[in-house]
Structure 1
Amino acid sequence: MSPSLHQSLLMVSDLDASVAFYRDIVGLEPDEIADGNAEFDTGRCTLVLEEDFDPEVLDAFGLDEPGDERGRGVIVAIDVDDPEAVDTVCERAAEAVETVRMEPTDVEWGRRMALLSDPDDYTVEISAPR
């Protein structure tokens, strides 16, 4: 059996704001929204947004609270259909006054990509093959 990534989980501070960002800006449709979390099936793995866990749950898993700098060092890479879709996502982000960290750019490894900042300051790469 080959290992494969089946889920990525982001601890978020405001679930409604995060769901709106990934749904309305990025274009992902939530599969499930429950009390305290939301799941988006991306086709390859599930992106889970989870509001802060209670301290007992964190302790049970040996985890620390994420604190104010929860997005530091994390990049969520999302593949879109085509290079034009990268531009479209960035236009939606700019209209919604979301942070565009890097405007759509053709990079030397054959992709068009942009970098956004989600409500918790996670870096979100939006890219497509050229």
Structure 2
Amino acid sequence: MLPSLHQSLLMVTDLTASTAFYEDIVGLETDRVEEGNVEFATGEGTFVLEEDFDPEVLDAFGLDDPGDDRGKGVIVALDVGTPDDVDAVCERASEAGDVVRMGPMDVDWGRRMALLSDPDGYTIEVSASLSA
């Protein structure tokens, strides 16, 4: 059996602010809300925002505290539907005062894409096939 991506999880400092960013700016729909986390259905797997774990939980799982550089080296790529949807996400982000790292552009591999920063500094690629 070929492995498949089941879930991607980001530890966030402010679950309410992060949830609002992914719902209101990116356009994801909340699938499940539990104590300390919010899940978004994204097709094959789920995308989860998790409140920072306390030190005991981090230690039990052998994890380090994500610290202030939590977004460094992480890119979450989300297909938002159509090239016009990429533009709309960036427009909502700009209007809300969120960081658009790279505005919408068509790239050689057949997609329209843009890069945003979420409230914790994670890089979020929003893109869509140019043939969509």
TM-score (norm 2): 0.97
Instruction: Report % sequence identity.
Output: 72
How many residue pairs align between the two structures? 130
Residue segments in structure 1 that go unaligned for 5+ positions in a row:
none
Aligned to 1:59: 59
In the TM superposition, structure 1's runs of 4+ consecutive aligned residues that sit over 6 Å from their partners are: none
Per the TM alignment, residue 15 of structure 1 is displaced from its structure 2 partner at its CA by 0.2
Residue segments in structure 2 that go unaligned for 5+ positions in a row:
none
- Residue 111 of structure 1 pairs with residue 108 of structure 2: no
- Secondary structure at the counterpart of residue 86 of structure 1: helix
Matching residue's letter, 1:15 = L
- Secondary structure at the counterpart of residue 31 of structure 2: strand
Matching residue's letter, 1:66 = P
Take 2:129 and 2:47, find their aligned partners in 1: how far apart are those partners?
Answer: 21
Aligned to 1:75: 75
Name the Cα RMSD after superposition: 0.6
Matching residue's letter, 1:7 = Q
C-alpha offsets along residues 43-67 of structure 1, whole Å, 9 cap, x if unaligned? 1210010011011111111000000
Aligned to 2:128: 128
Aligned to 2:18: 18
C-alpha offsets along residues 54-112 of structure 1, whole Å, 9 cap, x if unaligned? 11111111000000111111000000211000000000000100000000000011100
TM-score (norm 1): 0.98
